[in-house]
């Protein structure tokens, strides 16, 4: 991990409110694992003061320029504009200076080759699942169950398909794929592939529902959590979640940034996971 003082290579809106940003990051691929994240410094001046955490969508190389220089290695983020920081990010252009601290945290355990894998993504939660799919599809059959509010929240499905991932889409309003919850699809898939390992990232209620399906079946489940973060490196203790067996006398608090963001379901105290309240946009400075 290091602090890359680098620049934006490209930044595009791909669906209303969703953007993809490529950042120059030499050597990043070598050291990062699927499920890790970065702390992104939106701009060198204030505000916002603190960095913002983002998952790693993918790493790659730009096609070589005709300048004869080696191809540029990039890190790609996919983000949703929800407030001030992401708003400023969406206005960044090629060549703008940014800082990226990472890769941070623990990523996914990619499990056994050949094992069936089911990825469950809710909205922006697909981000770490894409870098995971890049890895898993090398050795396993991978299925993606993708949920969102409307069709605008369903992203990058064709890219998953290009990797050979079988995808199933559901939306709350039925504007794309099946109408309803992604968890209904998960029930059916687990009935059919009872030995599959499940990987999930999305809003906490979705993760809880996925856990409630997997736990009684004894299905292996890894989840990627979000938390408000100040440091991203385990120093501020702002991002803790309760681990299994937590009590006041014997605190079992896990830093989402350092011991996560990916956790095995059995590490967490599911009955006491606190949902971060949804602040209204613009309330956060």
Ligand X SMILES: Cc1cc2nc3c(=O)[nH]c(=O)nc-3n(C[C@H](O)[C@H](O)[C@H](O)COP(=O)(O)OP(=O)(O)OC[C@H]3O[C@@H](n4cnc5c(N)ncnc54)[C@H](O)[C@@H]3O)c2cc1C
The entry of other proteins, ligand X, ligand FES, none near residue 250 (CB within 5 to 8 angstroms by kind) is other proteins
- Out of 16, 30, 46, 68, the only residue in the binding site for other proteins (CB under 8 A) is 46
Nearest to 157 by CA among 149, 148, 169: 169
Nearest approach in angstroms of CB 229 to other proteins is 8
213 forms part of the interface with ligand FES (CB under 6 A): no
Contact indicator for 108, 5 with CB cutoff of 8 Å: no
Per DSSP, 96 falls in state: -
Name the token pair of 164. Answer: 């050979």
- Out of 154, 261, 263, 265, the only residue in the binding site for ligand X (CB under 6 A) is 261
38 forms part of the interface with ligand FES (CB under 6 A): no
Nearest approach in angstroms of CB 85 to ligand X is 3
- Out of 54, 108, 160, 263, the only residue in the binding site for ligand X (CB under 6 A) is 54
Count of residues interacting with other proteins (CB under 8 A):
44
Tally helices (H) and strands (E) across the chain.
6, 16
d(CA 19, CA 126): 13
30 forms part of the interface with other proteins (CB under 8 A): no
Dihedral angle sign, alpha carbons of residues 207, 116, 34, 171: negative
Binding segment for ligand X among 50-58, 136-144, 145-153, 191-199 (CB under 6 A)?
50-58
| Beta carbon nearer to ligand FES, 52 or 58 | 52
Nearest approach in angstroms of CB 223 to other proteins is 17
Helix (H, G, I), strand (E, B) or coil at 60: strand
d(CA 140, CA 128): 17
- Out of 6, 7, 15, 48, the only residue in the binding site for other proteins (CB under 8 A) is 48
| Beta carbon nearer to ligand X, 61 or 279 | 279
Q: List, in sequence order, every residue forming a beta bridge with 196; answer none if it has no partner.
A: none
Q: Which residue has the tokens 């990627």?
A: 224
1 forms part of the interface with ligand FES (CB under 6 A): no
Name the token pair of 232. Answer: 């991203």
Per DSSP, 95 falls in state: T
List the interface residues with ligand X, window 61-80 (CB under 6 A): 78-80
Peptide bond connecting 8 to the previous residue in cis, omega within 30 degrees of 0: no
Contact indicator for 120, 186 with CB cutoff of 8 Å: yes
Nearest approach in angstroms of CB 205 to other proteins is 16
Nearest approach in angstroms of CB 194 to ligand X is 30
**Pairing relationship of beta strands 37-41 and 142-148 according to DSSP bridges:** unpaired
281 forms part of the interface with ligand X (CB under 6 A): yes
d(CA 187, CA 170): 13
Residues at the contact surface with ligand FES, assessed by CB under 6 A: 229-232, 234-239, 255-257
Residues at the contact surface with other proteins, assessed by CB under 8 A: 1-3, 41, 46-51, 99, 101, 227-241, 246-251, 253, 258, 274, 276-280, 283-285
């Amino acid at each position: 991990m290091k602090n890359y003082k680098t620049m934006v290579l490209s930044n595009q809106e791909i669906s209303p409110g969703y953007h993809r940003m490529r950042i120059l990051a030499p050597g990043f691929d070598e050291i990062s694992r699927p499920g890790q994240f970065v702390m992104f410094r939106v701009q060198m001046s204030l505000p916002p003061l603190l960095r913002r955490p983002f998952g790693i969508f993918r790493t790659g190389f730009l096609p070589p320029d005709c300048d004869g220089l080696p191809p540029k290695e990039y890190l790609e983020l996919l983000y949703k504009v929800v407030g001030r920081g992401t708003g400023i990010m969406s206005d960044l252009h090629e060549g703008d200076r940014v800082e990226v601290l990472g890769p941070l945290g623990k990523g996914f355990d990619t499990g056994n080759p050949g094992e069936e894998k089911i990825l469950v993504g809710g909205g922006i939660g697909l981000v770490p699942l894409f870098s995971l799919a890049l890895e898993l599809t090398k050795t396993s059959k991978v299925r993606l169950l993708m949920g969102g509010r409307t069709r605008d929240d369903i992203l990058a499905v064709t890219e998953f398909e290009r990797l050979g991932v079988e995808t199933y889409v559901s939306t709350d309003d039925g504007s794309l794929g099946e109408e309803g919850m992604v968890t209904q699809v998960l029930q059916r898939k687990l009935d059919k592939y009872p030995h599959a390992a499940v990987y999930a990232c999305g809003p906490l209620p979705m993760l809880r529902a996925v856990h409630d399906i997997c736990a009684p079946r004894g299905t292996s489940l890894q989840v990627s959590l979000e938390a408000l973060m100040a440091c991203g490196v385990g120093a501020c203790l702002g991002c803790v979640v309760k681990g299994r067996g937590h009590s006041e006398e014997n605190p079992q608090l896990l830093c989402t940034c350092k011991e996560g963001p990916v956790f095995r379901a059995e590490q967490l105290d599911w009955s006491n996971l606190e949902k971060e309240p949804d602040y209204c946009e613009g309330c956060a400075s």
